């Protein structure tokens, strides 16, 4: 049975002409450590807990990812 993923956000740069973009999905029925799924534009996927995702978002908001 395929997982039912709820879309959260699509991460595309408006200036890029790409066929696929990274996406974030939520699968609340998955085990707690793997409820947030991030798929890159090549189809690779990573899963993390909602708590880990909140830390990532908070660090991004605080500027921790601005060096990239």
Q: Average pLDDT over the chain, rounded to whole?
A: 87
Measure the CA–CA gap between 45 and 25, rounded to whole angstroms: 10
Q: According to the model, what pLDDT value does residue 5 have?
A: 81
pTM: 0.79
Helix (H) or strand (E) holding 48: strand 45-48
What residue spans define the domains of the chain?
A: 6-61
Predicted confidence band of residue 50 (pLDDT cuts 50, 70, 90)? very high
Q: According to the model, what pLDDT value does residue 14 have?
A: 66
Instruction: Give the start-end residues of each E strand in the chain.
Output: 6-10, 23-26, 36-39, 45-48
Give strand pairing partners of 45.
39
């Amino acid at each position: 049975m395929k997982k039912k993923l709820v879309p959260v956000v699509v991460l595309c740069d408006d200036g890029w002409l790409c066929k696929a973009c990274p996406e974030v999905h939520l699968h609340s029925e998955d085990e707690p450590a793997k409820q947030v799924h991030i798929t890159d534009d090549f189809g690779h996927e990573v899963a993390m807990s909602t708590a880990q995702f909140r830390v990532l978002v908070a660090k991004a908001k605080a500027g921790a990812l601005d060096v990239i």
